[in-house]
Structure 1
């Protein structure tokens, strides 16, 4: 279906919904690389005005990726909740944005009725402050050994990566993070290789640490889902199954996964009964479908939102966008990274996902630590579920800049945020945090961990 809007004496035409969404996107290098972006600011504004007037029902009648050729589209269409959609069925995209900002609709109640393309469309019309206000209204709580996503709380993924998977190096980073109050979302290692024996060794190492110190958290080795499945089959104590996902069948094929494979992995993890029912951990990122040549002429933010439909299908404990990791070809500078990170967080929360963000950039991007601080601070005002905790903010294995253990402490102090309640109680019990009151590191080194250091 064609769309159009007139600005002054100039009329702008958009051939279909896919084109309209792409032209309405705020500027980013990935869409320009794909030849999808608006030619200039006037065309972008015209597309946004046309999109604002588009009825939400139009998204149920036109797929941006053909239903017949894409299992993600089939998932979106076949699982759409008409009952949850009914209270907003009369609205336009602009009307939904206004209703969300006016607190006229409950995000939790309408989430199953929103398609990813609707969520993408709303965020394209939002200013930064709108993205913060809407996301802040969306509380998405998950549980495994602890409770994540509660209002007033900020969790961290403790990320003790090592370029050779050296156990002593991982243990040092792990201890550093725990002594800084990090690790309540997950202790998650990106292994240097997908070698099965190596992965199983890391899984068992993390399980032993968590069990010995009775830490109310969960572990994950971020290997390919097929490696995790084989590890489960061989008796590894797997808490969470990790996988990178994207918004089209072809892009997921590039990751070596399908919906059926993810379902198999979910069932295998559930059968272990190691925690709650939320056993999946997904990472996403704008530009992944374009980088694999599977974007179907769609803009990268819309496809990012479609990845959230895949995540939503499997009731994950954790989802995060690795917002600046794919590189400046897709998000060129700090401004584009900031906008994308806020869009990702807001859209995912609207769709009912427990969203965190890896606030990061690669070393060849036009970004620096001030850009990261800005995005981090804005995300924390918007109620982001969790962030990364990387030693010194510099991941020496993956070669990119993220957030540090100190950054989480700073955000908690600045905004009065707390760790997950079970984890905070453990930190106080272990002597890492002072008892009672606002979260604060104890002055003295905790006795248990001082003893560990003495043995090193």
Structure 2
């Protein structure tokens, strides 16, 4: 690996290799300090950012942050790189690339054609020298559309995952949360449950319940039980109504191994879901979650900063044409993102990098109760992400997930963002809301409940 230097005034800053340069250029966050890779001072960080800005983009094709022979994610990144798509930006430095992305000549069509030529490290590098407004403006130009039972990511649309978690997987509690969310227009991205147990029988029971609700009310959405991919494969073999395959992923082979997965297993799971043919308007069947700090917590980061590791996870995701991807940005805790300022920056970085790489990216706008953050910080991040064209957010009753024990966004928060920016749910889902009398033509919740829901709620009481 090459060594990099940059002179600021009378001080020469040296960076041992590309991995060190990327880490030192990263805006401050607690996880990189914990890993011992962060810049030692603001001066060193600025010097690294200036050196990074002068680096040719082609460097990232010849100099990798995790060795090719030791890591299947690196091999995926290098072996799948589209040189034809890269040709138009091959001559640019990282700094030039930033200016190019911000230029009026670059629109959604240009960015879509470019995505396969951008590596995660290129995306991470350019994000490190961007202000928040840069991350928002470029991400807002990216358009990634996916489909299963409805169409996600269209212009002017903003979707939500309805998250009806319950600490004991109680069917009545889950059902009540589902009806509550639907009444606020939540659930067009997915109705997704984090189960309290990984027991396969319970997993199949929850899948069956979700499938029955969707079928009974003809809801144009998809369901998912967020369990390990091996459980979902087993559920398919049992004949369960699996719509989407969920899995948490990371940006290195070692970190993914800690999750009990590899690329071959993900391919097997995708093939299993596709074999069921449950999609009606599309065939995107994968749902991935990521988050800065996962590789470090698994001791699988190889000395790479957490944001670059996160961007590398997006190479894994895009290899499987997912319906949905989201960063659970503040969930891992203050050891990795200490406060609201770091969480906001990380959420916008994650969204930008994923969209640039061609992914249908959402964000769980969230924090743990021991982080130096509060709901005001989440309001800020939610508003910025909605302005940036974020694909979807979470919808949790009262914004308090009583099973996972963290703070997220509520059904009301999604209504706020849609109303503020004139955004609407996925078109098929919006038409269903209107046909059920739950929303009017202006996107406002109805004043009365549909008779079908009244009867269902009466049975739950």
Q: Is this a same-fold pair by TM over 0.5?
A: yes
Q: Which residue of 1 aligns with 2:27?
A: 26
User: In the alignment, which residue of structure 2 is the partner of 1:420?
Assistant: 426
Contact kept in structure 2, 1:322 and 1:357, CA below 8 Å: yes
The structure 2 residue matched to 1:238, chosen from 225, 239, 242, is: 242
1:269 paired to 2:273? yes
State the alpha-carbon separation in 2 of the partners of residues 442 and 177 from structure 1.
13
Q: Distance in 2 between matches of 1:442 and 1:190?
A: 29
Q: What TM-score results when the alignment is normalised by the length of structure 1?
A: 0.99
Residue 148 of structure 1: aligned partner:
152
1:109 is displaced (CA, Å) by 1.1
The residue number in structure 2 matching 1:37 is: 38
1:189-238 Cα deviation digits (max 9, x unpaired): 00001100000000000000000100000000000000000000110110
Deviation at 1:454, TM superposition (A): 2.9
1:321 aligns with 327
- What is the alpha-carbon distance in structure 2 between the residues aligned to residue 424 and residue 451 of structure 1? 22
With the length of structure 2 as denominator, give the TM-score of the two structures.
0.98
What is the root-mean-square deviation of aligned Cα atoms in Å? 0.6
Describe how 1:383-422 pairs up with structure 2 within 5 A. 383-422=389-428
Indicate the residue corresponding to 2:217 in structure 1.
213
- Among 283, 289, 295, the alignment partner of 2:295 is 289
C-alpha distance after superposition, 1:361-414 (max 9, x if no partner): 000000000000000000000000000000100000000000000000011111
| Corresponding position: 1:229 with 2:233 | yes
- Is 1:4 matched with 2:5? yes
- Contact 1:358-1:388 within 8 A present in 2 as well: yes
- Residues in 2 aligned to 1:154 and 1:104: alpha-carbon distance in whole angstroms: 26
CA distance, structure 1, for counterparts of residue 201 and residue 397 of structure 2 = 26
Query: Displacement, 1:447?
Result: 2.1
* Residue 117 of structure 2, aligned match among 110, 113, 117: 113
Q: Counterparts of 1:347-358 in structure 2 under 5 Å?
A: 347-358=353-364
Residue 173 of structure 1 pairs with residue 177 of structure 2 = yes
Which residue is equivalent to 1:66?
67
CA–CA distance in 2 between the matches of 1:319 and 1:302? 17
1:123 pairs, out of 124, 127, 141, with: 127
1:451, distance to aligned residue in structure 2 (A): 2.2
CA distance in 2, matches of 1:238, 1:446: 28
In the alignment, is residue 303 of structure 1 matched against residue 309 of structure 2? yes
Q: C-alpha displacement at 1:448, in angstroms?
A: 1.9
Structure 1 partner of 2:104: 103
Q: CA deviation at 1:449?
A: 1.0
Where 1:199 maps in the other structure, the secondary structure is helix
Shift, 1:127, TM fit: 0.2
2:369 to 346, 363, 369: 363
1:277 Cα deviation after fit: 1.9
Aligned to 1:201: 205
Residue 107 of structure 1 deviates from its aligned partner by 1.2
Per-residue Cα deviation, 1:152-199 (whole angstroms, up to 9, x for no partner) = 111000000000000000001011001111000000000001100000
- The aligned counterpart of 1:75 is 76
Aligned counterpart, 2:257: 253
**Count of paired positions:** 454
CA distance in 2, matches of 1:253, 1:103: 42
Structure 1 Cα separation of the partners of residues 254 and 456 of structure 2: 48
Over residues 74-118 of structure 1, what are the superposed CA-to-partner deviations in whole Å (9 max), with x where a residue is unaligned? 000000000000000000001011001013342111100000000
Distance in 1 (CA, whole Å) between partners of 2:299 and 2:458 is 53
Give the aligned partner of residue 380 of structure 1: 386
Say whether the 8 Å CA contact 2:162–2:396 is kept in structure 1.
yes
For 1:213 and 1:71, locate their aligned partners in 2 and report how far apart those are by CA, in whole Å.
Answer: 43
CA–CA distance in structure 2, aligned partners of residues 395 and 451 of structure 1? 26
SS at structure 2 position matched to 1:361: coil
Contact kept, 8 Å, 1:246 with 1:284, in 2: the verdict is yes
Map 1:127-142; keep pairs closer than 5 Å: 127-142=131-146
Tell me the CA shift for residue 14 of structure 1.
0.7
2:58 alignment partner, SS class: helix
Residues 430 and 448 in structure 1, CA contact (< 8 A), matched pair in contact too = no
Task: Give the ranges of 4+ consecutive aligned residues of structure 1 lying more than 3 Å apart after TM superposition.
Answer: none
Secondary structure of 1:362's counterpart equals coil
